[in-house]
């Protein structure tokens, strides 16, 4: 295949994309293949001779498509959304065609300057003050790693990269039990060690946020015991049931001890384009670092994570490397975003934000998010009226959890049966979590093309299958 063949296949792709999206409601949301099925359909050895693209495409339909879980299905209510809006997909096609590697300003000035502008648009959109600068990271996990490394270096007087952690006081980081596992991994990778990630107990109340007094007490106890407290990681909308720390309270405690704060709002941050939801992270202006994923709810398909930091100097002091071959001579005052992140190479991600925000406007995106929140709340309300259904955690934005406890059945088994049968049915897709040890089903509304009718379908599927279980 040559570029001269591209128009033919490019047109085919455009038609395929439109047909795929039109037909999504007729497909099961979750892939229904068995483990090993796709692998077995792929030849053991690579071809030596070139093969016609028609054949590759035919095999794509036959082998690959059955094993796809359709994250862009309007009735995807599992995990969190991972939205791809058509405008952002179009932008990504342009980027893919040019495939620039945007590690330095000079390796594509437009990419760097577009990133600066788009991150500032996003900063304004979510209501962060203008002393935050933004950078696009590949994932929230990477942003959190960058923040943890910054905490570590700041606490060690910038000595960790140079001399390692041996002989240093143990660095301590604090978060709640609701915080995401990406934090554990950041702690491991940063050489801090799981034992030095201190889980602060939750304060009473539905938001399941960490107890700020307990945080203060833990930091004091660590100081007295000769540890080196470095930072606090708060969450807004944690993955399980949407837990939200009291950001103002934990930032006050962190500041009093001179600690760095990072807030993980990977999912919920997108909702902050609607001012009425900003109570959930009240005090965010006091944080040192905030991450959220436009690749979740907003519609700039994976991967695009927005990382805002108050002091980019601390971040680049932690991560920048400048060997001779990366120096950009004669270009002063420019930004090289690869100095703000762990990977060196960078794709041109900001373009899809530009297309997204212009094509839908912030108003269009706000409307989408408000609809999802309203619909999820309505569904929780309806399920609450159904006998044997219990709403275990109330909606946080568009996420709530429930369980099914019909008489004569163990609730955990009945809830698991309900979930399994729903996902085998395929019309909707849901996943599970535990809340204080109780097995629950999560429901979140957030897919880009989801409608009120799709939520009605969810209600019908859930109650229909529950009836079947009741009847045995």
Interacting residues toward ligand PLP by CB under 6 A? 80, 139-141, 180, 182, 235, 238-239, 264, 266-267, 293, 305
Q: Which is nearer to ligand PLP, 156 or 175 (CB)?
A: 175
Q: Which two tokens stand for residue 438?
A: 């109780």
Residues 123, 396, 380, 178, Cα dihedral to 10°: 130
Please report how many Cα atoms fall inside a 13 Å half-sphere around the Cα of residue 135, on the Cβ side.
29
**Residue 242 to residues 129, 153, 235, 311, 339, Cα–Cα distance (Å):** 24, 30, 9, 28, 32
Quote the CA–CA distance of 171 and 153 in Å, as a whole number. Answer: 10
Provide the minimum distance between the beta carbon of 90 and ligand PLP in the complex, in angstroms, as a whole number: 22
Q: Give, rounded to a whole angstrom, the gap between the first and last alpha carbons of the chain.
A: 56
The angle formed by the CA atoms of residues 21, 27 and 29, to the nearest 5 degrees, is: 95
Looking only at the bridges linking them, the beta strands covering 133-137 and 305-309 are antiparallel
Q: Considering beta carbons, is residue 264 or 454 the nearer one to ligand PLP?
A: 264
When the beta carbons of 431 and 457 are compared against ligand PLP, the nearer one is: 431
Q: Which is nearer to ligand PLP, 108 or 142 (CB)?
A: 142
Q: Which is nearer to ligand PLP, 107 or 270 (CB)?
A: 270
CA distance 248 to 238: 17
| Min CB(361)–ligand PLP separation in Å | 25
Cα dihedral sign for 310, 300, 354, 102? positive
**Shortest distance, position 305 Cβ to ligand PLP, whole Å:** 5
CB of 288 to ligand PLP, least distance (A): 17
Judged on CB neighbours under 10 Å (0-12, 13-18, 19+), 358 is exposed
Give min distance, CB of 328 to ligand PLP, in A: 29
Eight-class DSSP state of 457: H
The first and second tokens of residue 243, run together, are 């837990």
Cβ 119 to ligand PLP shortest distance, Å: 16
The answer to whether residues 126 and 272 touch, using CB atoms and an 8 Å cutoff, is yes
State which residue, 295 or 403, has the beta carbon closest to ligand PLP: 295
Q: CA-to-CA distance for 376 and 459, rounded, in angstroms?
A: 11
Kindly state the smallest distance separating residue 265's Cβ from ligand PLP, in Å.
7
**Least gap, CB of 391 to ligand PLP (angstroms):** 21
CA distance readout (Å), 468 to 345, 409, 421, 464, 465: 53, 13, 10, 7, 5
- Which residues are CB-neighbours of 262 under 8 A, at least 6 positions away? 144, 147, 148, 151, 231, 232, 233, 234, 287, 288, 289, 290, 291
Nearer Cβ to ligand PLP, position 383 or 445?
445
Residue 239 CB, nearest approach to ligand PLP (Å): 4
User: At 320, is the secondary structure helix, strand, or coil?
Assistant: coil
Among 400, 132, 370, 143, which residue's Cα sits nearest to residue 273? 370
Shortest distance (Å) from residue 301 CB to ligand PLP:
12
| Nearest to 373, CA basis, from 82, 81, 144 | 81
Three-state DSSP state, 80: coil
CB of 372 to ligand PLP, least distance (A): 15
């Amino acid at each position: 295949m040559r570029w001269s063949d591209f128009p033919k296949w490019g047109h085919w792709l455009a038609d395929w994309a439109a047909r795929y999206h039109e037909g999504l409601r007729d497909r099961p949301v979750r892939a229904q293949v068995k483990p090993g099925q796709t692998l077995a359909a792929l030849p053991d050895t690579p071809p030596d001779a070139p093969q016609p693209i028609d054949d590759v495409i035919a095999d794509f339909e036959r082998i690959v498509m059955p094993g796809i879980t359709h994250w862009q299905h309007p009735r995807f209510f599992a995990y969190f959304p991972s939205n791809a809006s058509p405008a952002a997909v179009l932008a990504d096609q342009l980027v893919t065609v040019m495939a620039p590697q945007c590690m330095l300003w000079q390796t594509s000035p437009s990419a760097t300057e577009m990133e600066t502008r788009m991150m500032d648009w996003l900063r304004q959109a979510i209501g962060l003050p203008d002393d935050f600068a933004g950078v696009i990271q590949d994932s929230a996990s990477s942003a959190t790693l960058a923040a943890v490394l910054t905490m570590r270096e700041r606490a060690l007087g910038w000595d960790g990269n140079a001399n390692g952690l041996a002989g240093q006081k143990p660095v301590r980081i604090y978060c709640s039990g609701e915080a995401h596992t990406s934090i554990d991994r950041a702690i491991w990778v940063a050489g801090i060690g799981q034992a030095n990630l201190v889980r602060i107990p939750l304060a009473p109340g539905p938001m399941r946020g960490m107890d700020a007094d307990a945080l203060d007490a833990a930091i004091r106890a660590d100081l007295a015991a000769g540890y080196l407290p470095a930072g606090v990681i708060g969450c807004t909308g944690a993955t399980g049931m949407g837990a939200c720390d009291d950001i103002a309270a934990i930032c006050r405690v962190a500041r009093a001890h001179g600690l760095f704060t990072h807030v993980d709002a990977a999912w919920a941050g997108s909702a902050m384009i609607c001012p009425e939801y900003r109570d959930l992270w009240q005090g965010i202006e006091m944080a040192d670092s905030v991450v959220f994923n436009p690749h979740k709810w907003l519609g700039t398909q994976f991967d695009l994570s927005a990382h805002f930091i108050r002091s980019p100097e601390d971040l680049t002091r932690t991560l920048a490397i400048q060997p001779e071959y990366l120096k950009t001579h004669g270009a002063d005052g420019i930004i090289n975003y690869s100095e703000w992140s762990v990977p060196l190479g960078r794709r041109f991600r900001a373009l899809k934000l530009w297309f997204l925000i212009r094509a839908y406007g912030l108003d269009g995106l706000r409307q989408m998010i408000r609809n999802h929140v309203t619909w999820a709340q309505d569904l929780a309300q309806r399920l609450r009226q159904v006998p044997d259904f219990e709403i275990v955690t109330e909606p946080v934005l568009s996420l709530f959890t429930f369980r099914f406890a019909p008489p004569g059945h163990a609730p955990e088994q009945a809830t698991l049966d309900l979930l399994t049968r729903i996902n085998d049915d395929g019309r909707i897709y849901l996943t599970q979590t535990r809340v204080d040890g109780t097995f629950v089903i999560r429901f979140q509304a957030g897919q880009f093309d989801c409608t009120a009718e799709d939520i009605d379908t969810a209600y019908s599927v859930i109650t229909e299958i529950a009836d079947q279980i009741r009847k045995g």
